[in-house]
Amino acid sequence: MLEHVAIWTRNLEEMKEFYCDFFNGKAGEKYESTSEFHAGFESYFINFGEGSRLELMKMITIPDGINSNGHEAIGITHIAFSAKTTGEVDGLAKKARSEGYTVVLEPHKTGDGYYEACILDPDGNRVEVTVLP
């Protein structure tokens, strides 16, 4: 079973609020490293009630990646959250647009039977919201 996925960010608090607000996440306490090796490292684990967690991490020395701002590159390209209904997918896409987030794929049915939308989080990472076929 997958325990967690981690995302580096420069906007730790904004990313925490996004994942808590859009996906009903519950943030644990902020961790701030006191180790010289990880000087300036900060993180939150976001719990979604069941299944895997999301770790949001910030450290000034981490370079920018090429898989941001909606671009795709080799490596992990998106994370997906499961919705219960197509209406929930539609509602999250509408909420994202109304709050100024980019919807890169409008709600639609895929060739393999999913109903999904894809939005960008505050750092430009792709986040799919899907209803399983």
Same domain, 91 and 118: yes
Ramachandran class of 69: left when φ > 0, alpha when ψ lies in -120 to 50, beta otherwise: left
- Which token pair is 76? 């992990």
Clarify whether residues 111 and 94 are in a common domain.
Answer: yes
Structural domain total, the chain:
2
Domain span holding position 58: 1-63
> Which of 63, 92, 117 marks a domain boundary?
63
Statement: residue 63 has pLDDT above 90: no
Position of tokens 């709600």? 107
The 3-state DSSP class for residue 65 equals coil
Based on the fold, state whether residues 83 and 59 are members of the same structural domain.
no
CATH number of the domain that residue 52 is part of: 3.10.180.10
Q: What is the pLDDT of residue 86?
A: 97
pLDDT in tens, 18-47: 999 999 999 999 999 988 777 889 999 999
Question: Are residues 82 and 54 part of one domain?
Answer: no
Distances (CA, A) of 5 to 2, 65, 94, 97, 98: 8, 16, 26, 25, 27
Q: Of 21, 39, 63, which residue sits at a domain end?
A: 63
Rg (the chain; Cα; Å)? 15
- Are 92 and 111 found together in one domain? yes
